[in-house]
């Protein structure tokens, strides 16, 4: 007798990893082309194991550490012998679950992978909001929130990098979820290339979410016995809103993802010459900028773009990693000691993935750039992309960069990447492997960075991609901080840093004070306000401080001292968003609170001005209600309860773009 159970349908039931073409019509998790041309994939449970410790992913970034457990679930498509292993890492301390997937071809013929998502997550409800972080160059990670509608929606990048336009971090939450209330789920992909984060609100009010490498241009050949590994995704669920989710992501990323070469140490306050000079500099001028900044407390001088090859603008030089001795006579061997004599460390900008047609490297190896020989290539910022999928290309660039690193005492590099990928075709791969180039490029990038990490263990690397075009959890595994945006305008930065803060810790957010009128917006903001905005990150300067007035220099000196004193609170404390800069157009405020709640730093910046402004009474967060706190050293003590539930009254502000910081210190024990 055949019993038909109409409640059992693959198209309805939640799946840990969805099938393809065998009855579940919702989003697929994997699409595999078998030798007979079929795409059908029916995944059946085979076995599972649980062991202590965290799985590792060869050649890919991953969370790591001691207190983890791993669950491995093996599925198999009975007709084709495609085996899929679902990997789950569980870190109880941070309530974090990671996921990855390995696909093994256990059959006898080649297969082609067209889609391999890192995770599939079925919610048994459709009434959720989707929050994404979107924008463009100089306006990265603006928060967008909308209720899920029936059908597919999401964010993605096919730019070869995670992109300025969409970030590989999304949140699903209840419609009324806020900072401290409502159920929310955050999902971050540890991947720096094309990604897809897609949700489908389905016919019966359930929601499927898949996230992983974007299927666009992806076709990976898997010979019998070979295995493909998808990048890792990280998930945190908070029943109490965004703030606890943020705190867990921040701690987990700081403690289990980032590999800081100098853990526990304060990073030096840096001065970068880019906005002051761009390509137009010489050694004496740079030493002048460094000398002035050393007097004001800066500890690391970073020489940005323009120090190598024939590089007087962005049309030439990339690929020729030899010092331009007309700008720097005697090379780094002569220049770096002059910086070190000032008591500063030295850092250097590089853009290893790129080449200009007007370069010795391109003249010698035109086929090292991505692109089909018979088609004209698309340029971005006048440059082409080197084929980092090729080991020989990477080896050449690696050796060239190592020669530079070995020539002087260099403690930091800024790794830039200033265009999206196009003409994605590699001269080193056969036609049936061209669909692998996007991903092989990212693996090549990771391989390069891993070699640097191994060969130069003390070297600190800051990531950068035209600002924040590759600000993702994958890069953070190799580069513990990332230049947040090319937009250094203090007011615009409030929004960029607000969006960035939902997943990424303050210590990862590269932020500098720059000159006014601001190079990107033309806006003038007081030096105090620029300092407050930049202090909510790694903190540094990007201007010729010699051009400041004596009064401004005094403020800069105070700012660097203040940052040095409170860096631990700022970078390792819990971060609270006190306002939403997309809704409150009058002012933006945020707060750092030490883990033991004995101190806090509140920052507030006004974004507009008008007559007869209402008083600002700001309700603080994260304090101990039973303790009393002094504010900026005051004799008067304020109860933590009063500061949180009644609020702190600010004086009336006069003039545009003002700022205040309150340092709170607890005077009583709980």
Contacts of 6 (CB under 8 A, 6+ apart): none
383 vs 501, beta carbon nearer ligand DGJ: 383
Establish if 200 lies at the interface with ligand DGJ (CB under 6 A): no
How far is it, in rounded angstroms, from Cα 310 to Cα 168?
36
> How many CB atoms are located within 10 Å of the residue 539 CB?
26
Minimum distance between the CB of residue 496 and ligand DGJ, rounded to whole angstroms?
A: 13
Q: How far is the CB of 560 from ligand DGJ (least distance, A)?
A: 20
CA gap 189, 338 in Å, rounded: 42
Q: How far apart are CA 264 and CA 511, in angstroms?
A: 20
Question: Please, what is the minimum distance in Å from the beta carbon of residue 521 to ligand DGJ?
Answer: 16
Nearer to ligand DGJ, 276 or 442 (CB): 276
Nearer to ligand DGJ, 520 or 658 (CB): 520
Q: Which of residues 83-102 bind ligand DGJ (CB under 6 A)?
A: none
**End-to-end CA separation in angstroms for the chain:** 70
**Min. distance of Cβ 26 from ligand DGJ in angstroms?**
40
Residues 524-543 that bind ligand DGJ (CB under 6 A): none
Residue 316 DSSP code: B
In the complex with ligand DGJ, which residue's Cβ is closer, 83 or 416? Answer: 416
Gap between the Cα atoms of 194 and 230, Å rounded: 12
The rounded distance, in Å, linking the Cα atoms of 468 and 490 is: 16
Interface with ligand DGJ, residue 349, by CB under 6 A? yes
Q: Is 472 a catalytic residue?
A: yes
Strand-pair partners of 152: 200
Q: What's phi and psi for 560, nearest 5 deg?
A: -65, -35
Nearer to ligand DGJ, 231 or 510 (CB): 510
Least distance from C-beta 486 to ligand DGJ, angstroms? Answer: 4
> Which one, 19 or 192, has the nearer CB to ligand DGJ?
192
Which token pair is 434? 């061209």
**Cα separations in angstroms, 420 against 217, 318, 362, 484:** 15, 16, 19, 17
For the CB of residue 540, give the shortest distance to ligand DGJ in the complex, in Å. 11
**464 vs 620 by CB, closer to ligand DGJ:** 464
CB of 464 to ligand DGJ, least distance (A): 5
C-beta closer to ligand DGJ: residue 184 or 413: 413
Q: Which among 552, 586, 641, 656 is annotated as catalytic?
A: 552
The nearest distance, CB 106 to ligand DGJ, in angstroms, is 46
Among residues 63 and 483, whose Cβ is nearest to ligand DGJ?
483
Beta bridge partners of 513: 541
418 touching ligand DGJ, by CB under 6 A? yes
**DSSP symbol at 670:** -
The token pair that represents 46 in the structure block: 């085979």
CB of 273 to ligand DGJ, least distance (A): 10
CA distances for 306 relative to 107, 119, 186, 313, angstroms: 53, 42, 40, 8
Q: How far is the CB of 137 from ligand DGJ (least distance, A)?
A: 9
Please give the radius of gyration of the chain, using alpha carbons only, rounded to the nearest integer.
26
- Among residues 88, 274, 368, 477, the one that binds ligand DGJ under rule CB under 6 A: 274
Instruction: Calculate helix-pair angle for 391-407, 437-455, nearest 10 degrees.
Output: 30
Is 127 within 8 Å of 172 (Cβ atoms)? no
Catalytic option among 42, 353, 416, 472: 472
Residue 140 engages ligand DGJ in binding (rule: CB under 6 A): no
Rounded to the nearest angstrom, the gap between the alpha carbon of residue 397 and the centroid of all alpha carbons in its chain is: 24
Q: How many residues bind ligand DGJ (CB under 6 A)?
A: 11
Measured from the CB atom, is 171 or 276 closer to ligand DGJ? 276
Residue 232 bears catalytic tag: no
Choice from 292, 299, 358, 416 touching ligand DGJ (CB under 6 A): 416
Task: Determine if 574 is a binding residue for ligand DGJ (CB under 6 A).
Answer: no
Q: How many CB atoms lie within 10 A of CB 667?
A: 12
Residue 307 to residues 314, 317, 326, 368, 413, Cα–Cα distance (Å): 12, 10, 10, 23, 13
Supply the minimum distance, in Å, between the C-beta of residue 351 and ligand DGJ.
Answer: 7
Does 281 engage in binding with ligand DGJ (CB under 6 A)?
A: no
Residue 90 CA to residue 99 CA, distance in Å, equals: 9
Parallel/antiparallel/unpaired status of strands 227-229 and 82-91: unpaired
Contacts with ligand DGJ in 452-491 (CB under 6 A)? 464, 466-467, 483, 486
Burial class (CB in 10 A: 0-12, 13-18, 19+), 2: exposed
Among 531, 591, 590, 537, which residue's Cα sits nearest to residue 567?
537
Check residue 305 for interaction with ligand DGJ (CB under 6 A): yes
**Interacting residue with ligand DGJ among 304, 358, 436, 572 (CB under 6 A):** 304
Contact 578, 634 (CB under 8 A): no
Shortest Cβ distance from residue 457 to ligand DGJ (Å)?
Answer: 25
CA–CA distance, 202 with 346 (Å, rounded to integer): 55
Residue 317 vs 474, nearer CB to ligand DGJ: 317
Name the residue whose CB lies closest to ligand DGJ: 305
For residues 480 and 2, give the distance between their C-alpha atoms in angstroms, rounded to a whole number: 59
Q: Give the footprint of ligand DGJ on residues 392-411 (CB under 6 A).
A: none
Closest CA to 24 of 228, 231, 206, 195: 206
Question: Do 269 and 300 form a contact (C-beta atoms < 8 A)?
Answer: yes
Alpha-carbon gap, residue 209 to 152, rounded angstroms: 9
3-class DSSP state of 626: coil
Residue among 77 and 304 whose Cβ is closer to ligand DGJ: 304
Listed in sequence order, the residues at least 6 apart from 194 whose beta carbon sits closer than 8 Å to its beta carbon are: 156, 157, 158, 159, 160, 213, 214, 216, 217, 218, 438
Quickly tell me which residue has 């009336």 as its tokens: 652
Applying CB under 6 A, does 31 fall inside the site for ligand DGJ?
no
Q: Which residues are catalytic?
A: 472, 552
Binding site for ligand DGJ (CB under 6 A): 274, 304-305, 349, 416, 418, 464, 466-467, 483, 486
């Amino acid at each position: 007798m055949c019993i038909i159970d109409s409640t059992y349908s693959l198209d309805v039931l939640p799946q840990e990893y969805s099938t393809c073409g065998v009855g579940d019509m919702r989003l697929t998790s994997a699409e595999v082309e078998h030798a007979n041309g079929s795409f059908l994939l029916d995944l059946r449970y085979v076995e599972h194991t649980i062991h202590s410790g965290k799985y590792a992913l060869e050649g890919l970034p991953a969370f790591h550490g001691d207190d983890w457990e791993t669950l491995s679930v093996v599925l198999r498509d009975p007709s084709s012998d495609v085996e899929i292993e679902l990997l789950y890492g569980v870190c109880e301390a941070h309530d974090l679950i990671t996921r990855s997937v390995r696909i093994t071809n256990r059959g006898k013929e080649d297969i082609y992978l067209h889609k391999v998502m890192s995770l599939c997550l079925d919610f048994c409800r459709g009434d959720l909001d989707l929050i994404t972080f979107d924008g463009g160059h100089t306006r990265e990670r603006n928060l967008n929130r909308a209720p899920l509608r029936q059908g597919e929606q999401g964010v993605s990048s096919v730019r070869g990098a995670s992109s300025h336009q969409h970030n590989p971090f999304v949140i699903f939450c209840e419609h009324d979820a806020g900072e401290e209330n409502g159920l929310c789920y955050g999902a971050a992909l540890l991947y720096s290339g094309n990604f897809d984060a897609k949700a489908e609100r389905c016919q019966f009010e359930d929601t499927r979410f898949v996230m992983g490498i974007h299927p666009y241009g992806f076709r990976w050949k898997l010979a019998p016995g070979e295995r493909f590994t998808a990048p890792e995704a990280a998930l945190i669920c908070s029943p109490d809103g965004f703030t606890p989710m943020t705190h867990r992501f921040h701690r987990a990323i700081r403690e289990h993802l980032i590999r800081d070469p100098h853990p526990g140490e304060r990073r030096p306050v840096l001065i970068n010459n880019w906005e002051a000079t761009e390509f137009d500099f010489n050694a004496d001028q740079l030493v002048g900028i460094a000398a002035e900044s050393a007097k004001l407390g800066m500890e690391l001088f970073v020489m940005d773009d323009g120090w190598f090859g024939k590089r007087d603008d962005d049309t030439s030089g990339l690929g020729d990693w030899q010092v331009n001795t007309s700008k720097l006579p005697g090379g780094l061997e002569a220049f770096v000691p002059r910086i070190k004599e000032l008591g500063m460390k030295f850092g250097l900008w590089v853009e290893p993935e790129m080449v200009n047609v007007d370069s010795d490297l391109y003249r010698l190896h035109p086929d090292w750039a991505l692109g089909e020989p018979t088609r004209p290539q698309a340029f971005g910022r006048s440059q082409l992309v080197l084929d980092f999928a090729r080991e020989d290309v990477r080896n050449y660039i690696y050796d060239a960069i190592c020669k530079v690193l070995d020539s002087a005492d260099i403690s930091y590099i800024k790794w830039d990447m200033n265009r999206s990928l196009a003409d994605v075709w590699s001269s080193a791969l056969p036609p049936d492997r061209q669909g692998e180039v996007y991903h092989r490029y990212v693996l090549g990038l990771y391989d390069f960075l891993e070699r640097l990490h191994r060969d130069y263990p003390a070297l600190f690397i800051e990531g950068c991609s035209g600002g924040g075009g590759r600000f993702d959890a994958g890069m953070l595994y190799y580069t513990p901080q990332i230049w947040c945006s090319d937009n250094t305008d203090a007011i615009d930065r409030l929004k960029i840093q607000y969006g960035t803060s939902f997943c990424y810790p303050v210590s990862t957010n590269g932020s500098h004070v720059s000159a006014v009128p601001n190079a990107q917006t033309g806006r003038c903001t007081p030096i105090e306000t620029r300092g407050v905005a930049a202090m909510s990150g790694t903190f540094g300067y990007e201007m010729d401080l010699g051009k400041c007035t004596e009064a401004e220099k005094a403020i800069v000196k105070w700012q660097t001292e203040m940052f040095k004193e409170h860096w631990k609170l700022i970078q390792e404390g819990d971060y609270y968003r006190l306002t939403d800069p997309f809704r409150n157009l009058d002012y933006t405020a945020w707060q750092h609170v030490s883990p033991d709640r004995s101190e806090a730093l509140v920052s507030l910046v006004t974004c507009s001005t008008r007559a007869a402004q209402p008083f600002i009474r700001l309700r603080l967060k994260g304090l101990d209600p039973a303790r009393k706190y002094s504010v900026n050293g005051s004799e008067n003590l304020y109860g933590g309860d009063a500061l949180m539930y009644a609020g702190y009254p600010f004086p009336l502000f006069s003039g545009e773009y003002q700022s205040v910081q309150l340092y709170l210190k607890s005077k009583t024990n709980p």
